[in-house]
Amino acid sequence: MDKNLKKEGRRDFLKKSTALAALTIATPAIIKAGENDERIAALFEKIPLNLEVNGVVHSLSVEPRVTLLDLLREQLHLTGTKKGCDYGQCGACTVHVDGKRINSCLTLAVMNEGKKITTIEGLADGDNLHPMQNAFIKQDGFQCGYCTPGQIMSGIACINEGHANSREEVQEYMSGNICRCGAYPNIVDAVMQVKKEGSNHD
Amino acid sequence: MDKIIEQTDIDRVDGIQKVTGTAKYSAEYDFPGMVYGVLATSNITKGIINAIDTKAAENAPGVLAVITHLNCPELPGYKSTPEQDKLVPTKKGYKVFADNIIRFNGQPIAIVVADTFERATHAASLIKANYTKEKHNTDFDEAIKSGTPLEGNNFKEYVRGEANAWINAPVKIEAEYTMPIEVHLPMEIHGITVVWDGEDKVTLYEKTQSLSGTQRNIVRTFGLKEENVRIITQFIGGAFGSAFNTWPHSMAALIAGRKVGKPIKLMLTRNQMFNLVGYRPEAKQKLGLGASADGKLMGITHEAIAMTASYNEFTEGIVNGSRSLYECPNVNTTYKVFPLDLSQPTWMRGPGETTGAFALESAMDELAYALKMDPIEFRLKNYAETDLERKKPYSSKYLKECYELGAEKINWKERNPEPRSMKEGDWLIGYGTGSGIFSAWRGAAKAVAKLLPDGTMILQSGVTDMGPGTATAMTNLAAETMGLSHTKISFEMGDTNLPPGPMQGGSGTTSTLGTAVFAACENMKKKLAAMIKDNAVFHTEIVHEVKVEDLVFENGYMMLKTDKTKKISYAEVIKSAGLSELEISEDSKGNPMLNHSAFSYAVHFVKVKVHSKTGVIKIDRAVSAVDAGKIINNKTAESQIIGAVVGGIGMSLMEEGVIDHRYGRWVNNNFADYHVAVNADVPNIEVLFVDKPDPVLNPIGAKGMGEVGIVGFAAAVTNAIFHATGKRIREIPVTADKLI
């Protein structure tokens, strides 16, 4: 966020601050707090954001309150990343930011200035699936498929972090990704398969 | 069925879409000018809305409309007839924005439509309502004490032989079992995308287990023509019963979308998933069981009490399993339901039976211990060879095989039957078992099969798939039946424009749709054979006119049984006939099962470890042996049982809906506070199928398995905990505090 504000430039920021002050002074009692909040938000609406998603650089203008998850799903139309709770409790929205797994619902889009994001859509090389994607199909590591992108992103990270040395360890480090269809044993099989093959990559 | 090529265990046909993120769920469609709907909900539990201030929301940036009961358009389906007006409240239902009555906390009072999700969410927070509160009750215990249960045909007492006969048996037990509210919580939050074309025509992308049911509800509510309501459901991110109803949020999105004339998307929040799309009702059950000294059941009395919403009579077969799972001459059951000021419950995986089997199978274990008998031996001693409730033979029953397979796998014989006798360090070890029963059935369905000149086949049916793998199973079945590689078959589904398929649920989809697909393939083969009967390719000295029974169908070819070098490909037949496609339309009827009773069965075996000092419980092993008839695809079938068992682990050890009765509000409506089983909670789950076809229910021999895998599992866990600790916990979930 800090980085982003610096980039925006002092002049822009001052302009907005002045407008904000004018707004609060000019309409002391008439506007209710809620409306005021919204007008304040509107002033800061167009914050520039540059980030790379699956190798594509995007130069965007986003509201500061937009989460990375909603940016991906609603503005970039990358709906492979799923919303399962929006509170960081289920792992369905797991993506990689600079190679590390995070819950994209718990980070604001603007906090990712200059970062490299990889989503489920960025894993396969054309028709060649990532080994983790193949392993999930082979081991039947899903049923409905909704938690699957998050599980796959987590599975790749789990191995990269060095947390796939035993079934028990994989179970522990994959427990942030809930699967309500209950495919857990097959998910562990898939991660173990990729670990064993030594075929994991980002 | 003539098995021509072994083709079981194909990978999921939609696997690539699911692992690449290209599978589209209902809130993932994009249209130009898309707007977002967000619900504002009540913060009182019961009463009326006196006034509702929407001005701030309406003036907020990006807001296009705010709809409440005050400006909701009059809808044909919202008008009640004089007969409907006379109904009791639990038969009347509830229609979103139809009136100013608050029936439960969190009830939608408005929908806000804005150009972005964030703006809609913020504006919804600005809506303020002024209420007159009424005294509410959300407390089940309180309702049992001072309330009145519902009346009607669903609550008739069942008596076979003599009522309460268990009391006079030489060995008997009586116990009460309780379970809390459980919530489906599929990972996909319920979402909908609505695209109106004018005022009278709509396409919606909806999370539904029943396309035709949803279509019917919308046709009725909005007074539209059936052909003008198209529902598309390509993928469902789990449901477990939560997606049969057309819920208030879907109607709200439809109302709002028509008002603003733009494509609209609405996704509930995870919190709203706890009270806007159903749940499994809380229940208390009393079981009285009596047996002769040598272990013959003499009487079963099962009394169940459950709850529902004040505006909806929800009932399920909690006591039904107790009438037919065992041979017992004297059985009586009662079922009472009390209305509460909560949102409505609905079917959840193994509805009724799962609740009932927890009590019955716990009581069976208690009586086995009272008899000093092995719990499996006791069940075998009371094995029902016919359905005594319906006085019919079973279409097939391999429950005995399930006991044997499972017991052998978990090494049941080696356990020391004495409670608290087995240990591994600080951990107490226990083994338990529980059985499950669930109705098998076959409904009506339509399916179309099209063979194309390139030798590929398209199957079509308006069914949806919430995860079990319906498209995979149907592709598997068609590949085997047609003698065609599964890679040449595609299954189109999830659209009301397709021939109407069955609903996805009730453990009947494979039985129902499989019948139609099988028949379509068989008729396709007959048609193909008829088209080439005179073809010179097949002529021998004795054969001049081939019949379908003279042929084998293999790898896309028809071959003469007696000389497989004489063959012709399906593609060639279509091409030489100059057809663009050969279409078979199948309209298969349901099977009313007049002379038989049909059930699927499961027997669960569980090994638990309980820490002797902290009471921490770990499921160490789970073995489930299942009679679901013939298995169409082992891979997806196994996954389905594993999934049901994982649900059972949550049910027995973690899941508990908590409501603060002072305010009538949910306390733990999120994944941090409502615990479901996560990866580390789940052991290796071993699934065994008897895999013998049912000869009566349908021509493919499959029964059903979606539900039965969870039925009886919770009892297996609590019985294992008893064996480990000597403590009988009759209240699930069993948490550590109950053991120390």
Instruction: Find all residues with CB under 8 Å of B24, minimum gap 6, and list them.
Output: A79, B205, B234, B235
Single out the catalytic residue among B182, B361, B655, B707: B707
Nearest Cα neighbor of B6 from B419, B486, B357, B628 is B486
Q: Model confidence over A127-150: pLDDT tens digits?
A: 999 999 999 999 999 999 999 999
CB contact under 8 A, B14 and A78: no
Instruction: Find all residues with CB under 8 Å of B487, minimum gap 6, and list them.
Output: none
Q: Which amino acid is at B493?
A: M
CB contact under 8 A, B21 and A81: yes
Q: How far apart are CA B354 and CA B714, in angstroms?
A: 8
Shortest CA gap B687–chain A (Å): 12
Tokens representing A19 are 């407008």
Q: Which residues numbered 707-726 in B keep a CB inside 8 Å of some CB on A?
A: none
Whole-number pLDDT of residue B248: 98
Whole-number pLDDT of residue B9: 82
CB contact under 8 A, A146 and B187: yes
Angle between the A33-43 and B117-125 helix axes, to the nearest 10 degrees? 160
Q: Model confidence over B516-547: pLDDT tens digits?
A: 999 999 999 999 999 999 888 888 777 788 99
Q: How far apart are CA A7 and CA B543, in angstroms?
A: 86
Give me the residue from A35, A143, A175 closest to B643, CB to CB: A143
Q: Is B18 touching A (CB cutoff 8 A)?
A: yes
Q: Model confidence over A83-118: pLDDT tens digits?
A: 999 999 999 999 999 999 999 999 999 999 999 999
CB contact under 8 A, A133 and B30: no
CA distances from A29 to A32, B141, B354 (A): 7, 49, 58
Sorting pLDDT into bands at 50, 70 and 90, what band is A161?
very high
Contact B448, B462 (CB under 8 A): no
B707 catalytic residue (yes or no): yes
Q: Which amino acid is at B628?
A: A
The domain locations on chain A are 1-44, 49-122, 131-197
Give me the residue from A87, A92, A188 closest to B187, CB to CB: A92
Same topology, domains B283-441+594-738 and B443-588? Answer is yes
Q: Homologous superfamily of A49-122 in CATH? A: Beta-grasp domain (3.10.20.30)
Nearest Cα neighbor of B337 from B69, B627, B90 is B90
**Domain B443-588 belongs to what topology?**
Aldehyde Oxidoreductase; domain 4 (3.30.365)
Tokens representing B534 are 């005179």
Q: Does residue A23 surpass a pLDDT of 70?
A: no
Nearest chain A residue to B273, by CA = A85
Cis peptide before B733 (omega within 30 of 0): yes
Strand-strand pairing, B202-206 and B229-232: parallel
Chain B residues closer than 8 Å to A179 by CB: 187, 646, 679
CB contact under 8 A, A182 and B642: yes
- The CATH number of the domain covering residues in B283-441+594-738: 3.30.365.10
Mutation target to probe the B interface, by most B beta carbons within 10 A, among A129, A144, A188 is A144
Contact A68, A117 (CB under 8 A): yes
Whole-number pLDDT of residue B544: 80
Place of tokens 């039904």: B320
CB contact under 8 A, B21 and A181: no
ipTM score here?
Answer: 0.97
Give me the residue from B12, B61, B646 closest to A42, CB to CB: B61
Tokens representing B131 are 């209420």
| Residue B215, SS3 per DSSP | helix
Strand-strand pairing, B659-660 and A116-118: unpaired
The distance between the two most distant Cα atoms of chain A, rounded to a whole number of Å, is 67
Tokens representing A130 are 């990532």
CB contact under 8 A, A184 and B679: yes
Q: Is B264 touching A (CB cutoff 8 A)?
A: no
Q: Is B684 touching A (CB cutoff 8 A)?
A: yes
* Beta bridge partner(s), residue B586: B447
Place of tokens 């050969």: B582
DSSP assignment of B64-92: EEEEETTTPPP-GGGPPPHHHHTS-HHHH
Chain B residues closer than 8 Å to A121 by CB: 20-22
Q: H or E stretch including A112?
A: none
Q: Which amino acid is at B630?
A: K
User: Count of CB atoms within 10 A of residue B373's CB?
Assistant: 18
Alpha helices in chain A (DSSP H): 2-8, 10-26, 33-43, 68-70, 131-138, 148-160, 167-173, 184-197
Give me the residue from B122, B639, B685 closest to A143, CB to CB: B639
CB contact under 8 A, A90 and B269: no
Structure-model confidence comparison of residues A4 and B233, the more confident one: B233
What are the start-end ranges of the E strands in B440-581? 445-451, 457-460, 489-492, 551-554, 557-560, 563-569
Nearest Cα neighbor of B703 from B689, B716, B685 is B689
Chain B residues closer than 8 Å to A32 by CB: 56, 126
Terminal CA-to-CA distance of chain B, rounded, Å? 56
CA distances from B445 to A9, B157, B502, B518 (A): 65, 34, 5, 12
CATH number for B35-134+188-237+243-274: choose from 3.40.718.10, 3.40.50.620, 3.90.1170.50, 3.40.50.1980: 3.90.1170.50
Whole-number pLDDT of residue A179: 98
Nearest chain A residue to B126, by CA = A34
pLDDT along chain B (740 residues), means of 10: 55 98 98 98 98 98 97 95 92 96 98 97 98 98 97 96 98 98 98 98 98 98 98 98 98 98 98 98 98 98 98 97 97 98 98 98 98 98 97 98 98 97 98 97 97 98 96 96 97 98 94 98 97 88 86 96 94 96 96 97 98 97 98 96 98 98 98 98 97 97 96 98 98 96
Q: What are phi and psi of B413, to 5 degrees?
A: -60, -30
Nearest Cα neighbor of B532 from B554, B555, B518, B551 is B551
Give me the residue from A79, A84, A119 closest to B24, CB to CB: A79
Strand-strand pairing, A56-62 and A47-53: antiparallel
Chain A residues closer than 8 Å to B189 by CB: 83-85
* Beta bridge partner(s), residue B600: B438
Tokens representing B29 are 């469609």
Q: Is B121 touching A (CB cutoff 8 A)?
A: no
Q: Is B672 touching A (CB cutoff 8 A)?
A: yes
Residues recorded for chain B: 740
Sorting pLDDT into bands at 50, 70 and 90, what band is A30?
very low
Chain A residues closer than 8 Å to B61 by CB: 38-39, 41-42
- The CATH number of the domain covering residues in A131-197: 1.10.150.120
Q: What are phi and psi of A173, to 5 degrees?
A: -85, -5
Q: Model confidence over A40-64: pLDDT tens digits?
A: 656 657 799 999 999 999 999 999 9
CB contact under 8 A, B19 and A34: no
Instruction: Find all residues with CB under 8 Å of B212, minimum gap 6, and list them.
Output: B462, B496, B500, B503
Q: Which residues numbered 454-473 in B keep a CB inside 8 Å of some CB on A?
A: 466-469
Chain B residues closer than 8 Å to A151 by CB: none
Shortest CA gap B141–chain A (Å): 30
Shortest CA gap B377–chain A (Å): 31
Contact A51, A119 (CB under 8 A): no
Q: Which residues numbered 129-188 in B keep a CB inside 8 Å of some CB on A?
A: 184-188
CA distances from B685 to A184, B435, B604 (A): 10, 16, 10
Strand-strand pairing, B582-588 and B191-196: unpaired
Strand-strand pairing, B557-560 and B563-569: antiparallel
CB contact under 8 A, A149 and B680: no
Q: H or E stretch including B100?
A: none
Mean pLDDT of chain A: 87
Shortest CA gap B35–chain A (Å): 11
Q: How far apart are CA B640 and CA B635, in angstroms?
A: 9
The domain locations on chain B are 35-134+188-237+243-274, 283-441+594-738, 443-588
Mutation target to probe the A interface, by most A beta carbons within 10 A, among B9, B36, B187, B609 is B187
Same topology, domains A49-122 and A131-197? Answer is no
Q: Which amino acid is at B395?
A: S
